[in-house]
Structure 1
């Protein structure tokens, strides 16, 4: 026989519930459609060397990869964003 969970002792006010619903709605509005390519900053194989970028779909499927090594994550991200924008212009 499956046991039921005991009632939660947490109490949320109506105002807190309304804020949570609104936050979820805003997050849903700004979400990218599934399958949209995104830029990921990755550590190089040798951590001392720096960072690189990859354009991925679904977070795992690598579509493109930068060959250059960057000293900061910001530099790698901006280079990846430029490559992504060039990629979307071509398509």
Structure 2
């Protein structure tokens, strides 16, 4: 018999990112990025993001620790896309002026 783990507060449609049920625009990966980048605890995440309930943040972290490869892959893919866009973008006029003046 196979059992399926249910994560309260999290929904995951086939082929889509895991999200909060109450606030579908918030992905589990976004919550995890705060944990990875800043080392924030669930309590600190909720202080920084007042819309986030402690139970939702805990559920997101449990989902992450159970499916770390999935979420890490999503974060990696998002990072690579951002780097690609950044490399194709023109430098800002501020950067160009500062470089021309020898400041940068």
TM-score tier, shorter chain, comes to under 0.3
Larger radius of gyration: 1
Bigger strand fraction? 1
